Amino acid sequence: MNKIEGVIFDWAGTTVDFGCFAPVNVFIDIFKNVGIEVTTEEARAPMGMLKIDHIRAMLAMPRISALWEEKFGRMFNEQDVEDLYAEFEPVLLSSLSEYINPIPEVVETVAVLRDQGLKIGSTTGYTQTMMDIVVPNAAEKGYRPDFYITPDGTNSLGRPYPYMIYRNMEALKLSAPWRVVKVGDTVSDMKEAVHAGVWAVGVLIGSSEMGLSLAEFEALSETDQEKIISETASTFLQNGADFTIKSMSELPPLIEEINALILEGKRPYTS
């Protein structure tokens, strides 16, 4: 039958770690340690990429690049990237276990999808060493995908490359990209899905793109909530998302909608 066979989720900010806070402060701190103040927005912008690529992307930002040149009298180089990453990894590893609570509705939604016969895959910007902490902790709390892979399993070619999605498809025996849905919370997730040719779905509340904790989001007025939801959705749609959902409970009915589109001959990016 022509319908969706599997869903591939991102991890932090999508299925665990509401708001994707685990890496943000570490990125800010490692730059502060070398005398450069970066903003939360700058620290979040490349989120979803392999973390060393994330640092490289931050250093390439015009404002940060100019500050680096001003401070050190030269442009950043690859050794600087590696030095910053060497500081980043141990600090993140030491705190990761505090950021693995499943996001509301995730465990229940995955159960619904499995009952419908869908396979559950996952990709991440974390390394295997990081996932060695995240995966068992998340499993204890009720979230366990059928398959996961890190950029370590694709020769460090993480997002926006499509290869982690292809490895999921191979492992889970998913027959075609247009029968796969990728769900993520960053622009990098959307680009990964676009490049793989699968349906791209951006989850809004709890996303790194929105950048708010649950308490911060709930403290907003209903008008302000709708405003930031709309802004986040617009960013995803501008970067290739086929659809956005406010939260995970909207995913099963969306998949039914996608199944109907497939029967009409629609494919990703044509809906």
Query: Residues with catalytic annotation?
Result: 10, 51
3-state secondary structure (DSSP) of residue 8: strand
Ramachandran sector of residue 73 (left: φ over 0; alpha: ψ -120 to 50; beta: rest): left
In whole angstroms, give the CA distance from residue 162 to residue 255: 21
DSSP 3-state percent helix, strand, coil across the chain (nearest 5):
55, 10, 40
**Distance, CA of 106 to CA of 111 (rounded, Å):** 9
Check whether 10 is labelled as a binding-site residue: yes
Q: Is 185 annotated as a binding residue?
A: yes
| Cβ contact 199:243 at 8 Å | yes
Assess contact for 10 and 185: CB atoms under 8 A: yes
CB 58 within 8 Å of CB 46: yes
Question: What's the rounded Cα separation, in Å, for the pair 119 and 6?
Answer: 4
Q: Give the distance from CA 44 to its chain's centroid.
A: 11
Q: Give the position of tokens 């292809």.
A: 166
Give phi and psi for 168, each to the nearest 5.
-60, -45
CA-to-CA dists, residue 203 to 20, 105, 147, 148, 261, angstroms: 12, 12, 20, 19, 20
Quick one: tokens of 139?
């499993």
Task: Calculate the CA 239 to chain-centre distance.
Answer: 14
